Structure 1
Amino acid sequence: MTSSAKWDKLIPAAIILFSVIPVLGGALRLGELGGGAEITPDNARFFASPVPVVVHAVTVSVYSILGAFQFAPGFRRRRPGWHRAAGRLLVLCGLLGALSGLWMTVFYPKPADVGALLTGIRLVFGTAWVVFIVLGFAAVRRRDFTGHRAWMIRGFAIGLGAGTQAVTLSAWLLAFGAPDRLSKAMLMLASWLVNLAVAEWIIRRQTLPTRAAIRVRATAGETR
């Protein structure tokens, strides 16, 4: 198996594996709403206004799983038409996922473990998710493919925040018990920051060969 073929399998598999917990959480929430589960203080807000949480669960699941295959370089090169068609769907799902998340943050009653700090953090990153997707879409419209790739990777990093948060919150729960408001806010903030740091590393790793090639071409032109 070639190196490209290995990455085509490993990268999507890793992202999908990382998305399992939030995707399953969304599926369980949809099953709860559709199956007429008992209404409790923890889920009453979802039964009172189910549309935003349904939209969020469906679109973020599609965004995570379908988006994973955009990171398979060989697959993307072999099927550019698929990449473009899937990209349009991902833009729609990403925007709906982000906007529904912002709606829930603003209008749903706050659980006991969610304070003003976490609400503010969610608003910042939810807004950034929308902005990054819009900038990525605008970049590809003007054929700035490097900028398009960078902004979409940043948006995807925010969209995968729930996966990182599931890991960090679970680890904290096992080590120290249920987090208080401040601890939960800091853990969720750290998760998004880690994702964005990884995104920036990927972006710079991909752009360095391009910049090197430009310098080589420029040098070759000067020596002619």
Structure 2
Amino acid sequence: MTPTKAGRLIPAGLPVLSAVPVLAGAARAAELAGGAAILPDGARFHADPVPVMLHIVGVTVYSVLGAFQFAPGFRRRRPAWHRAAGRVLVPCGLLAALTGLWMTLFSDLPADDTGLLTVFRLAAGTAMAGSLALGFAAILRRDVARHRAWMIRAYALGMGAGTQAVLFAVWYAATGGDAHTVARALLHGLAWGINLAVAEWAIRRTAPGQPVGGADQPFGGVKGSAADS
């Protein structure tokens, strides 16, 4: 596969990947609203539903809206929409990351959700929030290249759940059983690692000297002033 084809397939696949956290969030929201049976390990969310509902809202908006920021044709045709969407995505991404960190630290987690998996979740959530903050700071300085890079990394971390679902499906197909505690943690960590590796490839495939600003960039370029980010 040529780099050009790969560069087109990755944005095209993002809406599919984003469907995993969106559908999972919808199922959890229906459970909390009383419209569905309690999912496995769902009792802890009923005890403190506010963080998980805020997390679902943040993840849903960030996943769906963010996927379109990486479609070059869509960005070129609708630059104003692209910049407006960026203003929504940063707070939604921060909401998703910070509520995820809150639940990791303060929820009553089951035994197989602690230990190494907690470390990975704290690292991913912190890195996502930090990437969003750095990306926002970069666009205020009109540094579009760094803004682009940090926003790609933030979205890659936010889409960890989609890649995790794929890896767990492969694990189940290969072994016929659920992953044990350590394997489960490692599969989560591997998913975030894969997403970050793809993100770094996407960042570096822009040739040196190639224009990186304007509407053809994820999460908006600068037009007129830093406030247009």
Scaled to the shorter chain, the TM-score interval is 0.7 to 0.9
Match of 1:171 in 2: 170
SS where residue 210 of structure 1 aligns? coil
Query: Which residue identity does 2:82 align to in structure 1?
Result: H
Deviation string 1:22-51 (CA, Å, 9 cap, x unpaired) is 211110000011125555771111100011
Larger Rg: 1
Measured after TM superposition, the shift of residue 171 of structure 1 is 1.6
Measured after TM superposition, the shift of residue 18 of structure 1 is 1.2
Deviation string 1:114-154 (CA, Å, 9 cap, x unpaired) is 12111011001100000000000000011000000000000
1:72 aligns with 2:67: no
Distance across 1 between alignment mates of 2:89 and 2:15: 15
Alignment of 1:12-161 (within 5 A): 12-35=11-34, 37=36, 42-161=41-160
Measured after TM superposition, the shift of residue 77 of structure 1 is 2.3
Match of 1:206 in 2: 206
Is the contact made by 1:136 and 1:152 (CA closer than 8 Å) also made in structure 2? yes
Deviation string 1:40-86 (CA, Å, 9 cap, x unpaired) is 77111110001111111121111111011111112212322111110
Match of 1:193 in 2: 193
Query: Which residue identity does 2:61 align to in structure 1?
Result: V
Higher relative contact order by CA 8 Å / sep ≥ 6: 1 or 2? 2
Deviation string 1:91-114 (CA, Å, 9 cap, x unpaired) is 011000000000010011111321
Distance across 2 between alignment mates of 1:8 and 1:210: 15
Query: Which residue identity does 1:132 align to in structure 2?
Result: S
Structure number with higher helix proportion: 1
Distance across 2 between alignment mates of 1:125 and 1:97: 12
**Cα distance 1:201–1:10, how it changes in 2: closer, same or farther (>3 A)?**
closer
Normalised by the length of structure 1, the TM-score is 0.85
**Cα distance 1:38–1:27, how it changes in 2: closer, same or farther (>3 A)?**
closer
Is the contact made by 2:21 and 2:63 (CA closer than 8 Å) also made in structure 1? no
**Cα distance 1:96–1:207, how it changes in 2: closer, same or farther (>3 A)?**
farther
**Cα distance 1:72–1:39, how it changes in 2: closer, same or farther (>3 A)?**
closer
Measured after TM superposition, the shift of residue 175 of structure 1 is 2.0
Normalised by the length of structure 2, the TM-score is 0.84
Distance across 2 between alignment mates of 1:144 and 1:28: 39
Q: Which runs of 5+ in 2 are unaligned?
A: 212-229
**Cα distance 1:191–1:8, how it changes in 2: closer, same or farther (>3 A)?**
closer
SS where residue 35 of structure 1 aligns? coil
Match of 1:220 in 2: none
Q: Which runs of 5+ in 1 are unaligned?
A: 1-5, 212-224
SS where residue 205 of structure 2 aligns? helix
Deviation string 1:137-177 (CA, Å, 9 cap, x unpaired) is 00001100000000000000000000000111122123221
Is the contact made by 1:172 and 1:179 (CA closer than 8 Å) also made in structure 2? yes
Distance across 2 between alignment mates of 1:121 and 1:146: 28
